[in-house]
Structure formats: structure tokens, C-alpha cells
Amino acid sequence: MRISLFPGSVPGELSSLSEIIIQGLEAERDGFDGFWVPHLSNRGFDALTVISLIGLQTESIELGTAVVPTYPRHPTAMAQQAMTSQVACQGRLVLGIGPSHQGNVEDAWGLSYERPAHHVREYLSILTPLVRDGKARFSGDMYQVDTQIDVPETTLFPVLVSALAPVMLRIAGELADGTITWMAGIGAIEKHIVPRISKAARDAGRNAPRICVGLPICVTDDRDAAFEDAANRFRRYGTLVNYRRILNVESVDGPADVAVIGNEKEVEEQLTRFADAGVTDFLASVYPVGDDSEVSSRRTRDLLSSLVGKL
């Protein structure tokens, strides 16, 4: 299981572009497998732009987006931007996309959120041929496309979809290279996520999917304090319908219940269980607890970096 850093899952956490770039450089220096940049709708920086800037200054670390909203971007525009980012990343891009949430799509962007799964299916039916072959011809209910894209020096890269519901997991398995989850705990991963997307990929004759699991994580001896901090820090995710549903699959009250919390031994055991369940990538949203945030975060990062290549 690859271990990557996934900062910025809380709005305002990454407030400067230079800070994000420095974190990406440090992630490569510390030996992490990947560095993933969130795209929080209309808050913060554009993830693909940030990834491109980090890609120009790094050499080996994988760089992913989690996740770029599909509704505001036509699939041909998404393809061209991502193919350009792949050049900047020197072949290390992982494009994570998703339909976002009903409130963003309808209230902020003034678009229809009707049939989001069908939207994603049609979107991928255009995006993946463009990424793979540089051309797409598609006529559907939402999109009609007949176009070609030629981006010099680009290469093929994985396309992952944020998928939590059964129909979305089926689409991700059939048409994409895998999924990115957020707020899905180990129970949901074992019983719901992995079996559904793996079966969909097998039935479609595709390779085993990448299953990238993003979760809050804190290595600490004060589990109660870390739990309380996670409950406050990540509270808003428990109010969003898509995340509330996956938390219900886990039969838990809120985001703190799925956070990875404990001392070094306990956290390693939890991560091992994810790896054993079939998770290919753990996206670590490191958060601190206690009076010294830097020391707390460093403790978590030190454990994570020591586990790279071992799970």
C-alpha cells in the first residue's frame, strides 16, 4: 500500500501557494509515495495548477488531485488541462475527479445535479478516450462531442473517480482506473467499497482498480484529545449527504469515528488492516493535537514515512 500526504482537507488550512509547494517538496524529500492536493470547490487553489507547479520542482513523487469537480469543466477542457499537467509532472500525475455535492452544483454554480451518476458515466466516456487516444466521439443525453486533442509530450495517466455509492463504484470500476474515498472507514472499505469496485472492474475486463482512501490521521498517546479535535476539525463533512451516507454504512456518528488515531503501534495496526483489505493507497490527512502542533504533526509524519514500502 502506497502512503501519501493529503494536506488541506480543512478549508483555510493551506492559505498560501508557496506553502503548498513547499509541502510537496518536503513530501518527496521525506520519501512519501505521493502528494495529493484537494480541490475544495470555490475555496482555495486550483488543484491541477498547483500540481503542475510542484511537478516542475520534483523528480519522483506521484502527484494527485482529490478531486477536481466535473460539472464546471467540460470533459474536453479537463482532458487538455490534465494532459498539460502531466507534462509538467513529468509523467507522475494521477487525475482524481468527481461530481462534487448538490449544494455546490445547484446553489453555487447554477447547474442541475439531476442524475449525477449518469453525468459521471457520460463524462468518463469522453474524458478517458481523450486521455488515452487523443480523440473522442460521443453522443449522449448530456454531452455531444466529436473532437481531438494533441498535447505535445504528454503520456497516459490514471483517472480516478470519487465514488462512495454503489452505482458510482460500478461506474468507477467499469470506466476509470479506480476510486478516491474520503470519510470511508475500515468497515465500509472492507464490506462495501473494495468488493463493489473490484467486481465492476473484473466484469468489465479491466485491471484491478486503485483504491485510494483518504482519512484524518494523528499519532498520539492522548486518544481522547485527538478524537475531540477530529470531531471539531472535520465536523462539516458529517453534514454533507454523500459523506453522511458512507458514515452510516460504517454505523458511526461522525468523522472522528473513522479517523486513524493512536500511538505508533496502534496506528500501524490500523493501516495494516487497510492494506489487507485491498486498499492500494492511503492518503494521510495529518492533523495535530496538543500545544505543539509542529511536534505533533512531525510524530505522525515520521511514523508514516517509516512505513513507506512496508505495508
- Asked if the bond preceding 67 is cis, omega within 30° of 0, the reply is yes
Residue 293 CB: number of other CB atoms within 10 A?
A: 11
Share of the chain above pLDDT 90, in %: 92
Across the range 2-27, mean pLDDT stands at 89
Average pLDDT for 13-34:
94
For the chain, the C-alpha Rg in angstroms (whole number) is 19
Of the candidates 80, 63, 56, 72, the residue with the CA atom closest to the CA atom of residue 27: 63
What is the per-residue pLDDT for 260? 99
Residue count (the chain): 311
Q: Does pLDDT of 14 surpass 80?
A: no
* pLDDT score of 44: 83
- The yes-or-no verdict on residue 41 having pLDDT over 90 is no
Residue 15 has a pLDDT of: 79
Backbone φ, ψ for residue 79 (5° rounding):
-60, -45
Sequence-distant (6+) residues with CB within 8 A of 92 are 55, 58, 60, 61, 62, 63
* Distance from C-alpha of 124 to C-alpha of 285, rounded to nearest angstrom: 27
CA torsion 293-295-297-298 (nearest 10°) is 160
Which residues have CB under 8 Å from 90's CB, separation 6+?
55, 59
CA distance 122 to 254: 33
How much of the chain, in percent, has pLDDT values that exceed 70? 98
Question: 177-209 pLDDT, tens per residue?
Answer: 999 999 999 999 999 999 999 999 999 999 999
Supply the angle between the helices 75-88 and 47-57 in degrees, to the nearest 10: 20
Segments making up each domain of the chain, as ranges: 1-162, 176-311
Distance (Å, rounded) from C-alpha 18 to C-alpha 98?
Answer: 26
Crossing angle, helix 17-29 and helix 47-57, to 10 degrees?
50
**Dist CA 188 CA 206 (whole Å):** 23
**What is the pLDDT of the chain when averaged over all its residues?**
96
HSE value, Cβ hemisphere, 13 Å, CA-based, for 270? 23
For helices 293-307 and 264-277, what crossing angle results, to 10°?
A: 50
3-state secondary structure of 19: helix
Query: So what's the architecture of 1-162 in CATH?
Result: Alpha-Beta Barrel (3.20)
Residue that the C-alpha cell 470506466 belongs to: 175
Q: Is 100 left (phi over 0), alpha (psi -120 to 50) or beta?
A: left
Q: pLDDT (tens digit, 9 = 90+) per residue, 233-262?
A: 999 999 999 999 999 999 999 999 999 999
Question: In the CATH hierarchy, which top-level class contains the domain 176-311?
Answer: alpha beta
CB-based burial of residue 248 (10 Å sphere; 0-12 exposed, 13-18 middle, 19+ buried)?
exposed
Q: What gap in Å lies between CA 302 and CA 92, rounded to an integer?
A: 24
CA dist 163 and 121 (Å) reads 12
CA distance 264 to 218: 10
pLDDT, residue 11, reads: 59
